Structure 1
Amino acid sequence: MVQTLRKPEIINIARREGKVTVEGLVDHFGVTPQTIRRDLSELADAGELERVHGGAILPSTTANIGYSERRDLNLAAKVDIARECAKHIPNDCSLFLNIGTTTEAVAAELMNHLGLLVVTNNVNIATILSANPDIQVVVTGGNLRRWDGGLIGELARATISQFRFDYAVIGCSAINEAGDVMDYDIQEVGISKAIISHSDKVILASDISKYDRKAPVRIGSLGDVDMFITNAPLPEASRDLCSRQNTRVVTVS
């Protein structure tokens, strides 16, 4: 495939999967690693991609990528993470699920649970769980973000403050190598902090692509959650932090 045709396809793969690797693109296009590295360098120079070790990602910005694109990114990994997460949620408990495509996948995996009280600031999650009459669903209210069904603002935080949850499952937009858990929207971060402070056990569910992204607002650290469910080994600094803070790391394959 000529270079002018490869480049748009490389961008499409990055949008679909969250990142591209030299090895994967070599297999996909049947060209040499040197050719792919040159393509990635030229795309990076043009601002289309950002180079990372072994490949490239979509450029870092202060805004998240589109919701429909995020829903499809690393979909198989999200389902695996969601299934593992559901194993750690017992029947007959109270639970908070926050905004995010991974937490929506968790909601789908909870459909066979019984006796749950689920509070959420995610309209999509409420819709998913409404199909199970054995799950009581409470929606926080708040300012609606139409593009992803999220509810944010003071009303959402005030609702959370009325509860003490047995479990919370939260997502995030990025995790840096030091183990800081990050997001894009400062109002959403305020909600995440309230969830953490009002929950007995907090599970962070996030695929490893979040290590290749950057976001400007800090939620907390991996040491602030009880369990981190992901799909690949952590960087050494994050692994050490989890060990020191007794955060259990569960890696699905």
Structure 2
Amino acid sequence: MLAEDRARAIVELVRSEGFQAIDALAIQFGVTPQTIRRDVNLLCDRGLLRRKHGGVELPPEGENLAYPARQVLNIEAKRRIAQLVAREVPEGASLFFGIGTTPEQCALALTDHPGLRVMTNNLNAALALSRNPSCEITIAGGRLRNLDRDVVAGEAHGFFSGFAVDIGIYGVGGVAEDGTLLDFSADEITMRSELARHCRQRFLVLDHSKFGRGATMRGGQITEASVVFTDRPVPPAIAAQLRDAGVRLVVWSDDAVSTAAVNHNGRRG
């Protein structure tokens, strides 16, 4: 197993089973404790795990992970979600991209779409789409969050209100059991709310780990989305809310890519 693959597997093991001792991880992955310590040190430096008494655990609830940590967390799930989204974005669409790693993956999945017009406060998404020479990109001004590479501070709050676009693609810090959307700062909620207010369709993109995940700030409801994209079936209560509100739920399945999907311009992808 490659070091990066092993690191991802360690994180998933800790997420699913909790605290893991160094020696136990070494046995699990068939490597020396020294090798596991190097893996763990890297993961802790990224903010993905936290050291504790001869092993590792997840960081405290209600505290967001560093962006580099989130970029590798559940990466395959995020890529699958991005594939689903890319199938439903027509050529020449105008788009908002919100902050976060799943919108970034959606941007990467759209780098071959011709004629897109994009407005975003997510520099990671902007840089991904800049690979597409036919993509017109407008970015929000204001104070940059260096590690996240996004702009959410007050001077950017009116950015999205200056446009009216076809589709807004946005993520969220977590979803409570009652469908309330959660984030880690008031500025993040303000930017997400403004994005959702000024697009004709709202694509909420989130992997399975966001359901039931704690965050400190409440703002909005999952039923305000037009479409929810995720990688696994959602909790039954959430599914019922979406169904009652007429919100379309798109869930990855093994045959999702081979199944024809109708884009908004009527073209089959």
Same fold (TM over 0.5): yes
| SS at 2:111 equivalent | coil
What pairs with 1:147-226 in structure 2 (closer than 5 Å)? 147-226=147-226
Change over 3 Å in CA distance of 1:45–1:218 after alignment to 2: farther
| SS at 1:87 equivalent | helix
Q: Distance in 1 between matches of 2:8 and 2:140?
A: 36
* Match of residue 243 from structure 2: 243
- AA partner of residue 16 (structure 2): V
Q: Distance in 1 between matches of 2:167 and 2:249?
A: 16
The RMSD of aligned alpha carbons is 2.8
Q: Distance in 2 between matches of 1:193 and 1:172?
A: 11
What pairs with 1:75-90 in structure 2 (closer than 5 Å)? 75-90=75-90
* Match of residue 234 from structure 2: 234
Structure 1 window deviating more from structure 2 (162-171 vs 211-220): it is: 211-220
Structure 1 residue 19 and structure 2 residue 20: aligned? no
Change over 3 Å in CA distance of 1:17–1:75 after alignment to 2: farther
Q: For structure 2, list consecutive stretches of 5 or more residues without a partner in the other structure.
A: 1-6, 19-23, 30-50, 254-269
Per the TM alignment, residue 67 of structure 1 is displaced from its structure 2 partner at its CA by 1.0
Per the TM alignment, residue 96 of structure 1 is displaced from its structure 2 partner at its CA by 0.3
Q: Distance in 1 between matches of 2:178 and 2:212?
A: 13
Q: For structure 1, list consecutive stretches of 5 or more residues without a partner in the other structure.
A: 1-10, 31-42, 50-56
Q: Distance in 2 between matches of 1:165 and 1:76?
A: 28
Per the TM alignment, residue 45 of structure 1 is displaced from its structure 2 partner at its CA by 11
* Match of residue 60 from structure 1: 61
Task: Give the TM-score taking structure 2 as reference length.
Answer: 0.75
Per the TM alignment, residue 132 of structure 1 is displaced from its structure 2 partner at its CA by 1.0
Task: Give the TM-score taking structure 1 as reference length.
Answer: 0.79
- AA partner of residue 130 (structure 2): S
The ranges of structure 1 where at least 4 consecutive aligned residues each deviate by more than 4 angstroms after the TM superposition are 11-14, 43-46
Change over 3 Å in CA distance of 1:17–1:175 after alignment to 2: farther
| SS at 2:204 equivalent | strand
Q: Distance in 2 between matches of 1:88 and 1:81?
A: 11
What pairs with 1:50-129 in structure 2 (closer than 5 Å)? 58-61=59-62, 63-129=63-129
Change over 3 Å in CA distance of 1:106–1:252 after alignment to 2: same
Per the TM alignment, residue 58 of structure 1 is displaced from its structure 2 partner at its CA by 4.6
Q: Distance in 1 between matches of 2:75 and 2:158?
A: 33
Say whether the 8 Å CA contact 1:168–1:203 is kept in structure 2: yes
Count residues with an aligned counterpart. Answer: 221
Say whether the 8 Å CA contact 2:8–2:72 is kept in structure 1: no
* Match of residue 252 from structure 1: 252
| SS at 1:20 equivalent | helix
Q: Deviations over 1:24-49 (max 9, x none)?
A: x99x849xxxxxxxxxxxx9999x75
Change over 3 Å in CA distance of 1:213–1:18 after alignment to 2: farther
Q: Deviations over 1:179-208 (max 9, x none)?
A: 111110110110000001111100011000
